A = this chain, B = another copy of it.
Amino acid sequence: MTAAADPGPDPGALARRILAGERRALARAVTLVESGRPDDRATAEALLAALPSRTGLRIGLTGTPGVGKSTFIEAFGTLLTGEGLRVAVLAVDPSSAVSGGSILGDKTRMERLARDPLAFVRPSPSQREPGGVARRTREVATLCERAGFDVVLIETVGVGQSELAVAGMTDLFVLLVAPAGGDELQGVKRGIMEMADLLLVTKADGDLKPAAQRTLADYSGALRLFRPRPGDPPGTPAARALSSVTGEGVAEAWAAMRALAAARRENGTFARRREDQARAAFEDEVRRTLLARLSSDAGFSARMSAFSERVAAGEIDPGAAVDALFADGP
């Protein structure tokens, strides 16, 4: 006997259960949104449309492994839920497809937060395709906002283009760096510091406190060299030091994020950034869909790859290769 097709949940009923605060309904909805199956997509879209539109604060978080992201999220998330705010934690991790694992693992990294009734910690989806991960994470963020979450934290391990993707779906982008002596300085991946709205030096406690203060001074000096985004208050992006263990500086970091978000809401850049992000997400997805259709034309794909290799080898100029590729179609 073959398995009967799953009729799938009723989007309206699922929406009502989510709004009633049913965690299992939310978990099911996330799975639905993350699914690539066409019938799931239709249900997911209907579900998103069935939920009332609602905007929370989306915060992107990045930092190299070892910087203390999980410990920070645990401390920061617990501070937020302590204020009565509902917090969702998501992750974008294009590498999880390779490792087969998930950066949020079995939630053991954030034990306290994962058990917090006001929090929802979601392991990263294992998708093979980076664009797909971004789209689905964006939709899960929307789902969480509409489900009533006030703050959505989206974490990235900083592999490939994942920071760019996360910066493109959040209201604030926070960069975590670890304290370092002058010689050990690993440095920040190029392109990341420039996306930051706030830079946090972690582990400012115990023996590392002096190093954290020096690192803070270094980064504060560097951030001064970047022109602030239009409309942002002077001194943005700021740098602060904190300890996720003692909790020192965590509330101040949250105050800084809140103040920046409030300033942007006030001057209209918050809403404008959301609009621009939505438009960019749509147009990006249209482009990806169009290109995916063309690359499913095996002949065209093969010819394009062949030309690409000849171009890289210097056998033909890029412009001539383009013209030759299109001379015969498609």
Contacts and interface: CB of A to CB of B under 8 A. Distances in A.
A319 interface: yes
A22 to B, nearest CB: 22
Contact of A323 (B45, B274, B287, B311): B45
Judged by DSSP, the binding face of A is helix
A282 B311 contact: yes
A220 to B, nearest CB: 10
A5 interface: no
A244 B256 CA distance: 43
Tell me how many chains of this kind the complex includes: 2
A321 B224 contact: no
B325 A48 contact: no
Interface stretch (A103-111, A114-122, A148-156, A187-195): A187-195
Given A282-B322, A285-B322, 8 more contacts: A42-B323, A45-B319, A187-B225, A189-B227, A275-B314, A282-B307, A282-B308, A290-B290
30 contacts: A41-B319, A44-B319, A45-B317, A48-B320, A49-B320, A53-B314, A138-B318, A139-B319, A142-B317, A187-B228, A188-B225, A188-B226, A188-B227, A190-B195, A190-B226, A193-B194, A193-B225, A193-B226, A219-B225, A275-B313, A275-B314, A276-B312, A278-B311, A279-B308, A281-B318, A283-B304, A285-B322, A286-B304, A286-B325, A289-B322
Interface of A: 41-42, 44-45, 48-49, 53, 135, 138-139, 142, 185-191, 193-195, 218-219, 221-222, 224-229, 274-276, 278-279, 281-283, 285-287, 289-291, 294, 304, 307-308, 311-314, 316-323, 325-326
